[in-house]
Amino acid sequence: MQCLMCCLSCTYLKKAKSRVRSERNMEPVLKIRIRNLNPHIVCSLCAGYFMDATTIRECLHTFCKSCIVKYLQSSKNCPQCGIKIHETQPLSGLKADNVMQDIVYKLVTNLFENEEKRKEEFCKSRGINVAKELNEADQNVPLTSVYDSPTGHHYSNDELVSLCLERDSLLLPLQNINGQPVHIPPLDRKFIRCSTRTRIAHVKKLLRKKLVLSQSLKLTISCSEASGLDDNWNLKQIWLQHWLDKDPPLILYYAISSS
């Protein structure tokens, strides 16, 4: 038997929710031309959109990292307002502006993808094998230096991302060669915070270690509609391409199969 009060409150809640939704839908959509925003998201040194946005602490003017670093080789003043950044070491007066960079990526469609393509083409034209170098870097970076060391590792000053590692529940249960079910316990901690430079290869290493998976088992990682994410992708790329409109944490699904 259903409780009348419960049914009434559910109906009331449903109505209230749909009213809020329709009010939201009726809000006028504010359209802004990107060219009106350009003065706030374009670097005055190169006239392009900010890349690795970097802000001067003293006056809060923002430039591309490479532009401002190059400029400060021959000056100690802000190129925009002329304020002295630092008596001897102007570079110490700069800070990476990740919020501004994310705003630029969100406003300018495909900027991130185009920049990645441009980098790839540049590397190709110089004969640099990026995939090979990344894989070699993976071999050299022990997992502990990324996740376990509280101080002193290379990633300590990085932008961080909150990550949730979920088991893909749609897959069939695992079986060993004799057809017996193989039980893999869930992660004891599925939420982690790590550098946005962390790559899928690192996440896989972490999962293999935590779940004590044998190398014979295949591990694949997916995110919303993107399945089988490439080992060389980092979490920043994944966030920008698949999670920009969603709330944190970034949810990655891992699937284990007998290969």
Q: Give the nearer residue to Zn ion in terms of CB position, either 69 or 164.
A: 69
Closest to 253 in 3D by CA, of 193, 187, 188:
187
CB of residue 143 to Zn ion, shortest distance in Å:
36
CB of residue 112 to Zn ion, shortest distance in Å:
16
256 interacts with Zn ion by CB under 5 A: no
- Count of residues in contact with Zn ion, rule CB under 5 A: 10
* Residues within window 101-140 making contact with Zn ion, judged by CB under 5 A: none
CB of residue 72 to Zn ion, shortest distance in Å:
12
Closest to 154 in 3D by CA, of 141, 138, 171:
141
Q: For residues 11 and 34, what is the distance between their CA atoms, to the nearest angstrom?
A: 43
Q: Give the nearer residue to Zn ion in terms of CB position, either 64 or 72.
A: 64
Please identify, among the stretches 46-54, 104-112, 177-185, 240-248, the one whose residues bind Zn ion according to the rule CB under 5 A. Answer: 46-54
CB of residue 77 to Zn ion, shortest distance in Å:
8
Q: Give the nearer residue to Zn ion in terms of CB position, either 78 or 206.
A: 78
* Residues within window 47-106 making contact with Zn ion, judged by CB under 5 A: 59, 61, 64, 67, 78, 80-81
Looking up tokens 């307002």 gives 81
* Residues within window 5-44 making contact with Zn ion, judged by CB under 5 A: 43
Q: How far is CA 27 from CA 13, 24, 30, 31, 198, in A?
A: 21, 5, 9, 12, 39
CB of residue 83 to Zn ion, shortest distance in Å:
5
SS3 220: strand
Compute φ and ψ for 147, nearest 5 degrees.
Answer: -105, -35
SS3 205: helix
Helices (H), 90-191: 98-107, 111-125, 130-140, 143-147
Looking up tokens 């170098």 gives 133
Half-sphere exposure of 43 (CA within 13 A, CB side): 22
Q: Give the nearer residue to Zn ion in terms of CB position, either 41 or 221.
A: 41
CB of residue 218 to Zn ion, shortest distance in Å:
43
Q: Give the nearer residue to Zn ion in terms of CB position, either 103 or 164.
A: 103
Q: Give the nearer residue to Zn ion in terms of CB position, either 43 or 207.
A: 43
Q: How far is CA 100 from CA 12, 52, 146, in A?
A: 42, 9, 26
Q: Which residues bind Zn ion (CB under 5 A)?
A: 43, 45-46, 59, 61, 64, 67, 78, 80-81
